[in-house]
Amino acid sequence: MRAALALLLVVAFGAPAFGGHGDTEVPPSTRRFAGKVLALGAPDAKGDLYTFQVSVQEEAVLPLIALRKADAIAKSEFVVAEVKSWRVTFVSGELLGAAYHVADNTPNTVTVVDLYRHGPLNGLKAGDLFFVEEVYFQRRD
């Protein structure tokens, strides 16, 4: 499964790059999953989208680096509610840069709430990439 996800990511980006700051090993600044949208969920009664199906990988690492990094965790699914209340940010596609609060998750679906006011997930497409990070929303006073 891990190889399949790595292949998926290689396909997504073509030939992987090496180097960069990634060659200096430091602890992750926050717990983070990288993931890919596999399919869109059903829209709500208004026709707005807030759910999508995913494939995930612990920590965002380049595919080939992931395969040789001892601390890259091999998993392609979440534990139920594992990333509930975390922040998901899209890093490709129409929603690039948009962040959402995770309302709940199953092993392979994520449902969000628009606490960051980026609107619904309309425009999301299968293949879009995202991070889910252990960052909690805080309201302004």
Partner 1 sequence: MRRLVLAALLAVTLAQPARAQDARTPTDAVDAFHRALTLANTAGALSLLARDLIVFEFGVTDPTLEQYAFAHMPFDMNIAAATQWKVETRRQGGGGDDWWVVTTYRVTGTDKQGQPIDNTTLETVLLRRTAGAFRIVHIHWSTNDPKFNAQVPGAQK
- Cβ distance to partner 1 smaller for residue 45 or 136: 136
The residue among 43 and 120 lying less far from partner 1, judged by its C-beta, is 120
Instruction: Quote the distance between the C-alpha of residue 136 and its chain's center.
Output: 15
From the number of C-beta atoms within 10 Å of its C-beta (0-12, 13-18, 19+), residue 91 rates as middle
Residues 13-72 that bind partner 1 (CB under 8 A): 13, 16-30, 32, 34, 59-62
Q: Shortest gap between Cβ of 42 and partner 1 (angstroms)?
A: 26
**Which CB sits closer to partner 1, 3 or 12?**
12
For tokens 């009664």, what's the residue? 45
CA dist., res. 52 & res. 25, Å (int): 32
